[in-house]
Amino acid sequence: MILTVTPNPAVDHTIHFDEPLQTGVVHRTDDAVFTAGGKGINVAKYASALDADVTASGFLGGHFGKFVRDRLDADGIASDFVTIDADTRLNTTVLAEDGEYKLNHNGPQIRAADVDELVETAQANEPDTLLVGGSLPPGMSLSDVDRLARAGDWKIAVDMGGEYLAELDADYYVCKPNRSELAAATGRTVETEADAVEAAEELHARGFEYVLASLGADGALLVTDDEVLSAPALDVEVVDTVGAGDAVMSGFLAAREHGLSDADALRMGVLTASRVVGVAGTRVPDLEDVLTNETHVEVATVRTR
């Protein structure tokens, strides 16, 4: 079973205006969408659609927390969240004629007792793999993530910012940086695929058993103990890249739960992402061809190690 932990989930509020924003003007629209957001939550949704046994966890509180729980229930996603006194955050994205504006709340204050309860929740679920995804709310530190890593007999995956990856101290199963996160985690310039390979290998040497690097239009890399694998992105119509990196991690973890090889796990990650970018937001697209492997993705060996 996969347990996804989203320490700082949100209700994602997206509104669209067919005009540029102006100071002092009241803009009105009927185009508004509310969704349950957060990396771990996205991974849970996509992995569940890939027939993985998955439960979503993290911290939730207040009316927005209830919205997230209710939305996951409606989507048939199992959940086991820690209830906190503070309110889950609301993040707003404004899409206007003159550009995109993101307004993100830092998140609720987390107490030490909340972290203790999260650790106990993870232990009670006894997952095979535990994923920590996204930013940390005020009051939660990287030492708490390391504590989760050491709290049970599970493999732990992380999908966090590069500045976080640089500071984690436990042994981790897999991390999933993108190009900018590879650069932030290693201090390297990451422009070419060769740059990405070098940076990913450095992270592997620091204690990540697998480094799954998502490179957008350039596909993805997987660094293992034995080799470096690459898979190209598919030539598909891109509607929205939100959730693409989460989809790569979802495909990888679901494949490993199904007992597939490293190459097939990378293949499933890339294929899942290619389907996710074809829909707006983090809605779950039809992933049937991912499960049946009807669409071929060529995985190449970049180098042996």
Active site residues: 246
Q: How far is residue 154's CA from residue 172's CA, in Å, rounded to a whole number?
A: 10
Contact 272, 233 (CB under 8 A): no
Cβ neighbour number for residue 18 with a 10 Å cutoff: 10
| Beta-carbon contacts of residue 184 (< 8 Å; ≥ 6 apart) | 161, 162, 163, 165, 166
C-alpha closest to that of 108 among 81, 74, 129: 81
First CA to last CA distance, the chain: 30
CA distance 264 to 178: 20
For residues 147 and 103, give the distance between their C-alpha atoms in angstroms, rounded to a whole number: 31
Residue 238 neighbours by CB under 8 Å, 6+ apart:
277, 278
CB atoms within 10 A of CB 260: 17
Rg (CA), the chain: 19
Backbone CA torsion sign across 30, 106, 40, 279: positive
Separation of alpha carbons 235 and 298, rounded Å: 13
**Lookup result for tokens 């989203």:** 6
3-state secondary structure 175-191: ECCEHHHHHHHHCCCCC
Q: Which residues pair with 34 in a beta bridge?
A: 13
